[in-house]
């Protein structure tokens, strides 16, 4: 018993499956298109002599290109190993009041895991009947707030008015807006608010819109003081979070704004026709501003559809949590993948 008492025991986050055989993979919101051509070039031309050395602990090259892209100062950007790393570091840095932090009850399930890992008390705020955030719930006393915008897995974007309201009501705590899917929304990022609200931290990732989930790059934007505090924690944890290849490839990806715009537009176009098709088949779903659609059918059981699709080598995401057990979260793939998905879905529904 003694030994067990000394262990930090946690229930880990469970990521979506990464099947090794060839399947149509619509379960973890990866991008179906390759990264920008400059990334492939950078990998081929990579100076492997540089691998002998430690990477730049300040990650200046990537930080500066992101600052330019976001139209903020480099001192307002923090880069990490995927936004999961940035978020985990942010929990550790900003949520230390002892009061419960707040996040939606239906949201990215990693928030609860980090809260438990770092022993941060938390409260989950229910979404309203249309699956929107209820901003009133974020006005009570708390130790910090975090939510994705657009939210996952609902796909719903909340306007910056809602976010500003929450920021104004919570001047003494940090509010983190996780913008993993913002590039698919065609709506403004909360990064435009960081100069006005010193309690705002916004995170984004290269895993979805920049097709680089395997490279692990994410970043946060916030005022200089918040970023300094994050850096201090990072340097107390691991000075070299980002590998040299990730720094070089990430910088190449940011440079190619044209490729980024084109692939993002393609996914949005595929999403829009997929919504029509799902509605024609009788599915119900909140309006998605992301690269996935969170849909349920009044006459077909969510788990059964999930299993039937999986047996036919089509992977989507399903959770057993009762409130959302009827839903499938379907990542938007290429047009061809979506056509195959719909052909298979129609077959299953006819059986």
Ligand X SMILES: *Cc1c(COP(=O)(O)O)cnc(C)c1O
Which residue among 76, 83, 142, 149 contacts ligand X (CB under 6 A)? 83
Block residue for tokens 């919570």: 170
SS3 178: strand
Nearer to ligand X, 212 or 268 (CB): 212
Instruction: Rank residues 82 and 100 by Cβ distance to ligand X and give the closer one.
Output: 82
Among residues 148, 155, 222, 302, the one that binds ligand X under rule CB under 6 A: 148
| CA atoms of 310 and 316, how far apart (whole Å) | 8
CA distance 267 to 32: 9
Q: Which stretch binds ligand X (CB under 6 A): 58-66, 82-90, 168-176, 325-333?
A: 82-90
Looking at the chain, how many residues does it have?
A: 351
Distance CA 351, CA 346 (A): 9
Residue 254 phi, psi dihedral angles, 5° rounding? -65, -35
Task: Please give the residues from 26 up to 55 whose contact with ligand X meets the rule CB under 6 A.
Answer: none
**Which residue in 27, 205, 223, 274 binds ligand X (CB under 6 A)?**
205
Min dist CB 256 to ligand X, Å, is: 19
Contact region for ligand X (CB under 6 A) — 205-213, 263-271, 311-319, 330-338? 205-213
Q: Give the number of other CB atoms < 10 A from CB of residue 269.
A: 12
Give the residue, chosen from 63, 65, 207, 251, that forms a contact with ligand X under the rule CB under 6 A.
207
Over its C-alpha atoms, the chain yields an Rg (Å, rounded) of: 21
Q: Pick from 35, 55, 82, 100: which binds ligand X (CB under 6 A)? A: 82
CB of 7 to ligand X, least distance (A): 26
Binder of ligand X out of 55, 104, 155, 218 (CB under 6 A): 218
Interaction between residue 155 and ligand X (CB under 6 A)? no
Residues that bind ligand X (rule: CB under 6 A) add up to a total of: 12
Helix and strand tally (H, E) in the chain?
A: 11, 11
Q: What is the DSSP code (8-state) at residue 239?
A: S
What is the rounded distance in angstroms from the CA atom of residue 300 to the CA atom of residue 309? 13
Stretch that binds ligand X, among 78-86, 156-164, 234-242, 280-288 (CB under 6 A): 78-86
Binding part of the chain for ligand X, among 77-85, 258-266, 271-279, 298-306 by CB under 6 A, reads 77-85
- 178 near ligand X (CB under 6 A): yes
Q: What does residue 235 show for φ and ψ, rounded to 5 degrees?
A: -70, -15
178, 309 Cβ separation under 8 angstroms: no
Nearer to ligand X, 191 or 345 (CB): 191
Question: What are the tokens at 289?
Answer: 């501003």
β-strand partners of 78? 220
Q: Which residues contribute to the site for ligand X (CB under 6 A)? A: 82-84, 108, 148, 152, 178, 180, 205, 207, 213, 218
């Amino acid at each position: 018993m003694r030994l067990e008492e000394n262990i930090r025991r946690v229930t880990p986050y469970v990521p979506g499956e990464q099947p090794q055989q060839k399947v149509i993979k619509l379960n973890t919101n990866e991008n179906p298109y390759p990264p920008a051509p400059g990334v492939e070039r950078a990998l081929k031309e990579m100076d492997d002599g540089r691998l002998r050395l430690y990477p730049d602990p300040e990650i200046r090259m990537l930080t500066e290109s992101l600052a330019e892209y976001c139209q903020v100062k480099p001192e307002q950007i923090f880069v990490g190993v995927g936004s999961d790393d940035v978020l985990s570091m942010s929990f550790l840095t900003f949520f230390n009041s002892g009061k419960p932090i707040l996040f939606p009850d239906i949201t990215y399930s990693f928030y609860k895991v980090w809260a438990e890992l770092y022993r941060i008390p938390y409260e989950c705020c229910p979404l309203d009947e249309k699956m929107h955030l209820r901003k009133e719930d974020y006005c009570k006393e708390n130790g910090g707030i975090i939510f994705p915008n657009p939210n996952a897995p609902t796909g719903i974007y909340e306007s910056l008015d809602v976010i500003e309201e929450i920021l104004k009501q919570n001047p003494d705590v940090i509010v983190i807006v996780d913008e993993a899917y913002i590039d698919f929304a065609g709506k403004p990022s909360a990064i435009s608010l960081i100069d006005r609200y010193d309690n705002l931290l916004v995170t984004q990732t290269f895993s979805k819109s920049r097709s680089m989930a395997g490279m692990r790059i994410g970043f946060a934007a916030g005022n200089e003081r918040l970023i300094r505090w994050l850096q201090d924690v990072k340097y107390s944890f691991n000075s070299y979070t980002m590998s040299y290849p990730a720094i070089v490839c990430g910088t190449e990806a940011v440079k190619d704004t044209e490729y980024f715009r084109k692939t993002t537009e393609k996914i949005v176009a595929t999403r829009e026709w997929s919504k029509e098709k799902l509605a024609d088949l009788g599915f119900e779903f909140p309006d998605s501003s992301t690269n996935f659609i969170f849909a349920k059918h009044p006459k077909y059981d969510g788990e059964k559809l999930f299993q039937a699709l999986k047996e036919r080598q089509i992977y989507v995401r399903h959770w057993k949590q009762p409130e959302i057990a009827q839903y499938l979260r379907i990542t938007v793939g290429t047009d061809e993948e979506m056509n195959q998905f719909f052909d298979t879905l129609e077959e299953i529904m006819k059986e």
